[in-house]
A = this chain, B = another copy of it.
């Protein structure tokens, strides 16, 4: 038995479009920061007495419930990968809890599959390093889970199965950035990210986005290295708009933004004219992630909370990656 905790992450350069659905390979590299307040905690117990895997998920604000259908199947398939690595047939009980709303563009599946990966690997007695753990988390089908494994600021590389892994490009204490999630919608997505990743290639703008990304990845990496919010912020916004422009021009189109999303975006632009260095980004959901430096975190949080269309906020600092809680000795290097 082992318990692991893993953060959600917010991408500065988005992962959009899946090149290989079997191995979960992206079309492009991506860069993110881990969120220290959006966490999933998962316990895996391999038990020879279990006739089948049991998966119990406690979503934010809801009682724990046994997973069914596709949700259960994805967990079982991931346990199968880890059982194959460990050479064990044993069934497992999985218990997982979230500190934030699932399925609303806050990378709940990234945190979930990163935590599952580390807990199951430790419980199975395997010794894997961050490179292997990030590749394994990637193969869960939730590719961005690979970015929730290393610490702090993380890059996930495009590549083949061996070359597509995530690593830390800066530790949390390199630069105190904050990410305030402005939650405007906690409803479940109509179209899951996985399906939409397959549709990315139907956008006429998708190839142009890919052509642009190498230069933008370089620029974001440099801006993080130089702790330059005035350079990083506009790049984050440009990349978010670029990704959503692809979504909206897919066949059929996907619209993740709603009225509240637009209102928050407009508010952030207005605050910026007034000297608040805050920038927005949206994942595959309506909620808005506002990035700023740590010294403006409380100000930005209060501004967002004062907007009538914001239900609540989650204020994050840059956080560590996934880690095993009670079996640390079994894992050689998780960060």
Query: Could you say which of A205, A207, A211, A248 has the most chain B C-beta atoms within 10 Å of its C-beta?
Result: A205
Known: A205-B205, A205-B208, A208-B204. A258 touches B253 (CB 8 A): no
Residues in B whose Cβ lies below 8 Å from that of A228: none
Residues in B whose Cβ lies below 8 Å from that of A248: 241, 245
Residues in B whose Cβ lies below 8 Å from that of A238: 249, 253
- A307 to chain B: closest CB distance in Å? 11
Bound: A207/B204 CA distance, A: 10
Bound: A245/B246 CA distance, A: 8
Query: Could you say which of A208, A245, A258 has the most chain B C-beta atoms within 10 Å of its C-beta?
Result: A245
- A55 to chain B: closest CB distance in Å? 33
- A282 to chain B: closest CB distance in Å? 12
Bound: A269/B249 CA distance, A: 15
- A245 to chain B: closest CB distance in Å? 4
* Interface members, chain A 243-264 (any B CB < 8 Å): 245, 248-249, 253, 255, 257-263
Counted per complex, copies of this chain come to: 2
Query: Could you say which of A209, A238, A262, A263 has the most chain B C-beta atoms within 10 Å of its C-beta?
Result: A262
B255, B259, B266: the one within 8 Å of A309 (CB):
B259
Known: A204-B208, A241-B249. A255 touches B259 (CB 8 A): no
* Interface members, chain A 266-315 (any B CB < 8 Å): 266, 269, 309
Residues in B whose Cβ lies below 8 Å from that of A261: 262
Sorting the interface of chain A by its residue count into under 10, 10 to 19, 20 to 34 or 35 or more gives 20 to 34
B207, B245, B259: the one within 8 Å of A245 (CB):
B245
- Chain A, residues 107-146, CB within 8 Å of chain B (1/0): the string is 0000000000000000000000000000000000000000
- A199 to chain B: closest CB distance in Å? 14
Residues in B whose Cβ lies below 8 Å from that of A245: 205, 245, 248-249
Is A326 part of the binding interface, using a Cβ–Cβ cutoff of 8 Å? no
Is A242 part of the binding interface, using a Cβ–Cβ cutoff of 8 Å? yes
Residues in B whose Cβ lies below 8 Å from that of A237: 253
Residues in B whose Cβ lies below 8 Å from that of A266: 255, 258-259
CB-CB nearest in chain B for A260:
B259
Q: Can you list 30 contacts pairing A with B, beta carbon distance less than 8 Å?
A: A204-B208, A204-B209, A204-B211, A204-B212, A204-B242, A205-B205, A205-B208, A205-B245, A207-B208, A208-B208, A237-B253, A238-B249, A238-B253, A241-B249, A241-B253, A245-B245, A245-B249, A255-B262, A255-B265, A255-B266, A257-B262, A258-B263, A258-B266, A259-B259, A259-B260, A259-B262, A259-B263, A259-B266, A259-B309, A262-B262
